């Protein structure tokens, strides 16, 4: 084992685990990862909960109790998922305290079926923050058009937010704008800005998956030479945008009020193409004040053979722009790709949520007390 995870942390990259289940909590596995693998946060999404709850491991008793109470399937899912998030938040509380609230956080997502409804997203975010009732929670809101005003409103209420499903540079700038607008609202309301935290989850591997597929379709040597480059280029240009926004005059006024920067979070960092190094989206996205949320396989791969050589984003912006331009020159539209990925991202989470509804409903029916 290398000490790559320790080096990654020392470079200013917070290591979060992109997974959660009751078994991970009760077995002591999460506590072990915090203690031994430098994990300082947890992210969840509808797909993660669908997988965890469908496995049934550790959920039977709570499901039986919920069935006895005849709760709706939506209420059952919220009771189960918020219980897991609350318990994980308690395990991470010492990290939260030690880092002044920056890390030690657990993310939980609003119902993905609300992704295009601003008012419902705000209401759901408030409800989730109330239900989990832990200061080290982040409420995940997707970066859809309807999500942007919801992000501003929820931040403005003093609720910390993880903005998810960001693929495009233009949308990322809109996300940062919504975050600043939210902080300005919170400041007007007299809220303590030091307590409000946010991360912006910029998705990585899916960009390569889609663009590589289109490059394969073109099939020329020039096209093949560009494979596996667009996702890193996109993420690096996102970091450039982050540096610009958080050195602006608008930010300076909030900085004076002791606001926290919204950190870029690299999401979807598990490599999808076996031809690429399995730590590609960790090794090559090292920069201060970032988060990398990893599935456990990527965490283990990084611990075993990650190559952390310092900042791998500084000085890359011109090359990154050239790589995106080269892809576009071949007729692959960047705007088309990132919009498709956002649409697909929302659809995938909605499908996972619907699967979770069906499997939970089946369990509630199976465990319902007989009418005898």
As a whole number, the mean pLDDT across the chain is 96
Distance, in Å, from the CA atom of 68 to the CA atom of 140, rounded to the nearest integer, reads: 31
Domain-located, residue 246: yes
Distance, in Å, from the CA atom of 74 to the CA atom of 114, rounded to the nearest integer, reads: 13
Out of 51, 140, 348, 358, the active site residue is: 140
The Cα angle at residue 303 between residues 297 and 304, in degrees rounded to 5: 90
Domain-located, residue 15: yes
Residue 186: per-residue pLDDT? 98
Residues above pLDDT 70, as percent of the chain? 99
Confidence check: pLDDT of 372 > 50: no
CA-based torsion, 107, 110, 115, 116: positive or negative? negative
Residue 109: per-residue pLDDT? 96
Domain-located, residue 307: yes
In tens, the pLDDT along 14-64 reads 999 999 999 999 999 999 999 999 999 999 999 999 889 888 789 999 999
In tens, the pLDDT along 214-242 reads 999 999 999 999 999 999 999 999 999 99
Distances (CA, A) of 176 to 96, 122, 161, 164, 165: 23, 18, 12, 12, 14
Distance, in Å, from the CA atom of 18 to the CA atom of 29, rounded to the nearest integer, reads: 14
Write out the residue range of the structural domain in which residue 286 sits. Answer: 4-361
For the residues 255-267, what does the mean pLDDT come to? 98
Residue with tokens 């031809």: 275
Which residues share a beta bridge with 137? 106
Domain-located, residue 266: yes
Distance, in Å, from the CA atom of 317 to the CA atom of 216, rounded to the nearest integer, reads: 25
Total domains, the chain: 1
Distance, in Å, from the CA atom of 34 to the CA atom of 91, rounded to the nearest integer, reads: 9
Q: Annotated catalytic, 229? A: no
Domain-located, residue 32: yes
Confidence check: pLDDT of 135 > 50: yes
Distances (CA, A) of 315 to 114, 119, 149, 170, 194: 39, 41, 33, 21, 31
The pTM is what? 0.96
In tens, the pLDDT along 355-370 reads 999 999 999 999 988 7
What's the CATH code of the domain at 81? 3.20.20.70
Distance, in Å, from the CA atom of 295 to the CA atom of 43, rounded to the nearest integer, reads: 10
Domain-located, residue 130: yes
Nearest to 7 by CA among 362, 292, 357, 334: 292
In tens, the pLDDT along 90-100 reads 999 999 999 99
Which residues share a beta bridge with 141? 163
User: What SS3 state is found at 95?
Assistant: helix
Domain-located, residue 370: no
Residue 369: per-residue pLDDT? 86
Domain-located, residue 371: no
Nearest to 73 by CA among 288, 315, 368: 368
The Cα angle at residue 321 between residues 320 and 326, in degrees rounded to 5: 100
For the residues 116-126, what does the mean pLDDT come to? 98
pLDDT-based confidence at 269, cuts 50/70/90? very high
In tens, the pLDDT along 146-199 reads 999 999 999 999 999 999 999 999 999 999 999 999 999 999 999 999 999 999
Distance, in Å, from the CA atom of 228 to the CA atom of 235, rounded to the nearest integer, reads: 13
Residue 371: per-residue pLDDT? 64
pLDDT-based confidence at 2, cuts 50/70/90? low
In the 8-state DSSP scheme, what is residue 4? H
């Amino acid at each position: 084992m290398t000490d790559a995870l320790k080096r990654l942390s020392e470079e200013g990259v917070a290591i979060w685990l992109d997974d959660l289940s009751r078994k991970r909590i009760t077995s002591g596995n999460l506590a072990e990862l915090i203690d031994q693998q430098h994990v300082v946060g947890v992210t969840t999404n509808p797909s993660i909960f669908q997988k965890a709850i469908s496995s049934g491991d550790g959920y039977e008793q709570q499901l039986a109790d919920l069935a006895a109470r005849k709760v709706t399937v939506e209420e059952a899912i919220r009771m189960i998922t918020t219980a897991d998030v609350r318990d994980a938040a308690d395990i991470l509380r010492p990290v939260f305290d030690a880092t002044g609230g920056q890390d030690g956080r657990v993310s939980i997502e609003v119902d993905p079926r609300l992704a295009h409804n601003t008012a419902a997203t705000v209401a759901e975010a408030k409800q989730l923050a109330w239900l989990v009732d832990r200061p080290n929670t982040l409420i995940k809101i997707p970066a859809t058009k309807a999500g942007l005003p919801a992000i501003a409103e929820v931040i403005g209420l003093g609720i910390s937010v993880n903005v998810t499903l960001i693929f495009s540079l233009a949308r990322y700038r809109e996300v940062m704008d919504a975050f600043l607008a939210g902080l300005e609202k919170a400041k007007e309301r007299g809220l303590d800005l030091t307590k409000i935290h946010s991360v912006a989850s910029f998705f990585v591997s899916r960009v390569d998956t889609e663009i590589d597929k289109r490059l394969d379709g073109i099939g020329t040597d020039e096209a093949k030479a560009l494979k596996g480059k667009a996702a890193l280029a996109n993420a690096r240009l996102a970091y450039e945008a982050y540096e610009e926004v958080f050195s602006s005059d608008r930010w300076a006024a909030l900085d004076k009020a002791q606001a926290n920067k919204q950190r870029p979070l690299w999401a979807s960092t598990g490599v999808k193409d076996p031809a690429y190094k399995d730590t590609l989206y960790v090794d090559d996205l090292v920069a201060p004040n970032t988060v990398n949320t990893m599935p456990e396989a990527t965490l283990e791969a990084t611990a075993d053979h990650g190559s952390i050589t310092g900042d791998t984003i500084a000085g890359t912006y011109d090359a990154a722009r050239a790589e995106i331009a080269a892809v576009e020159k071949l007729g692959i539209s960047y705007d088309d790709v990132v919009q498709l990925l956002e649409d697909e991202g929302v659809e995938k989470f909605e499908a996972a949520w619907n699967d979770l509804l069906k499997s939970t409903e089946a369990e509630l029916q199976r465990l319902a007390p007989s009418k005898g």
